Chain A
């Protein structure tokens, strides 16, 4: 069974600080996706990485896929209260066909003004 472990599970920091969230597995994934979810809503896709060692930037967010495609990290620079939410990583196949994703348990991030 493929599992994804996220750390930390909870993180509360002050506005303006930097942070990193980790997503680790003993399994290899073809793709790794990051989602952000707000209370009472469905998760929203932030990024998909498919190549080992790949780095993608989305404004203040930097996503990295490990060389062995078993782990990923999300780094946020100068965090803002609007970054507050539940961050989920998910791993699975890539391309056409059913994408049966395995989700981590999530990192609940709180940015205090």
Chain B
């Protein structure tokens, strides 16, 4: 069966520090992968999606970037975090039957 792993679960980082969040998928090949950010208890905003290795599409101009170095690995990064980068970050994959989400990373920038 397909599973998605996202880590870390929580992260507290100072302003100006770098960021790397990792997401891996098991049990499927060539998945469509997504990064979303969710404001506290609210809807989700699409940040990036990828349909294959090295293929990244950005939906919202921001202080973040994404990379897909392997078929089932999706990474969200930042060189210098801002206070406004705080939020709940969710990785997801799809094969045309709806999304399967990871358990999320709660990022607090202090």
Contact = CB atoms under 8 A, between A and B. Distances in A.
Interface string A88-111: 101000111111110111101000
A62 interface: no
Contacts of B59: 100
Contacts of A96: 95-96
Contact of B43 (A33, A99, A105): A105
B96 A94 contact: yes
Contacts of B36: 103
B74 interface: no
A54 to B, nearest CB: 15
Chain A interface mostly: loop
Nearest to A104: B43
Contact of A103 (B43, B97, B103, B104): B43
B102 A42 contact: yes
A48 interface: yes
A43 interface: yes
Contacts of A98: 32, 49, 51, 57, 94
Contact of A99 (B6, B44, B96, B106): B96
Interface in B49-75: 49, 51, 57, 59
Interface residues of A, number: 26
Chain B interface mostly: strand
B46 A41 contact: no
A86 interface: yes
B100 interface: yes
Interface in B25-50: 32, 36, 41-46, 49
Nearest to A108: B41
Contact of A105 (B32, B42, B97, B102): B42
Interface in A4-42: 4, 33, 35, 40-42
Contacts of B106: 40
10 contacts: A33-B98, A33-B99, A40-B104, A42-B90, A42-B103, A43-B44, A45-B100, A95-B96, A101-B44, A104-B43
